[in-house]
Amino acid sequence: MKLISWNVNGLRACLKKGFLDAFFALDAEVFCLQETKLQPGQVELDLPGYHQYWYSAEKKGYSGTAVFSRREPLAVSYGLGIDEHDHEGRLITLEFEPFYFVCCYTPNAQDGLRRIDYRMRWEDDLRAYLRSLDAKKPVVYCGDLNVAHEPIDLKNPGPNRGNAGFSDQERGKMTELLAAGFVDSFRRLYPDRTGAYSWWSYRFRARENNAGWRIDYFIVSERLASRITAAEIYSDITGSDHCPVGLELDL
């Protein structure tokens, strides 16, 4: 089963930069998006054979997620069920027979870590939510998680230590999540691979120089780890400041 996640940084803009070509070429069973920046009805996608699920932020032109699935899920839910977190369109959960699929666009801690206290509450509530799902059946959790977990996950860890996305607090929450029974699928297959990034700043020719960060993930329940057959970063696909990431499971 092939699964894809992509922060498109505005779907309407990405559609003008080859989104549909990439979508059909990747040919995934489930394809999810973050940062769609859409309100209901602003885009209608013709994706034959896919069920579509959209979750918009209340604020126009901000955040938002979507999931497209060939299989019709047993159930779909939106948000965490906690009012503080459920106004920005950040989380969609699809229940399938073998697992829960959770698409997430994690809140950015912002410059100067202005939103770090909120980010910490989000992380704690999200981890509790994933553990509650995992108690029922395995979980596949993916998306733009807005953190480079280890120094290997960004080009310039030294100068970025303490910045949003590479603060000790955010990295610590990722460590807590993995310790709670989850696996970073890419690092399970490629523990030492360097230069593997999924986001590049639009400034300073960062993508051309591969001065990036790996902040887009597929995290799976530990008991699915033996089922991972591929974990990909499609850095050749443009259209956004992020590239798609993928997971293949033998189910």
How confident is the model over 212-227, as a mean pLDDT? Answer: 98
Rounded Cα distance, 91 and 72, in Å:
18
Query: CB neighbours (10 Å) of residue 134?
Result: 20
Angle at CA 19, nearest 5°, toward 75 and 9?
Answer: 80
pLDDT tens, position by position, 148-168: 999 999 999 999 999 999 999
pLDDT at 94: 99
pLDDT at 116: 98
- Check: CB of residue 171 under 8 Å from CB of residue 149: yes
How large a percentage of the chain has pLDDT more than 70? 100
Q: Quick one: which of 92, 89, 52, 56 has its CA closest to 72?
A: 52
Q: Is 117 a catalytic residue?
A: no
Rounded Cα distance, 218 and 228, in Å:
11
The kind and range of the H/E element at 174 are helix 168-179
Whether pTM > 0.95 for this model: the answer is: yes
pLDDT tens, position by position, 87-99: 999 999 999 999 9
pLDDT tens, position by position, 107-161: 999 999 999 999 999 999 999 999 999 999 999 999 999 999 999 999 999 999 9
Rounded Cα distance, 125 and 134, in Å:
14
pLDDT at 82: 98
Rounded Cα distance, 215 and 197, in Å:
8
pLDDT at 156: 96
Catalytic residue among 50, 53, 105, 217: 105
pLDDT at 44: 94
Residue with tokens 């033998």: 250
Q: Quick one: which of 184, 126, 182 has its CA closest to 150?
A: 184
pLDDT tens, position by position, 43-88: 999 999 999 999 999 999 999 999 999 999 999 999 999 999 999 9
pLDDT at 149: 98
Rounded Cα distance, 214 and 200, in Å:
9
Angle at CA 210, nearest 5°, toward 208 and 211?
Answer: 110
Q: Quick one: which of 81, 143, 83 has its CA closest to 107?
A: 143
pLDDT at 230: 98
pLDDT tens, position by position, 183-193: 999 999 999 99
Catalytic residue among 129, 134, 141, 144: 144
Q: Is 144 a catalytic residue?
A: yes
Query: Whole-number mean pLDDT of the chain?
Result: 98
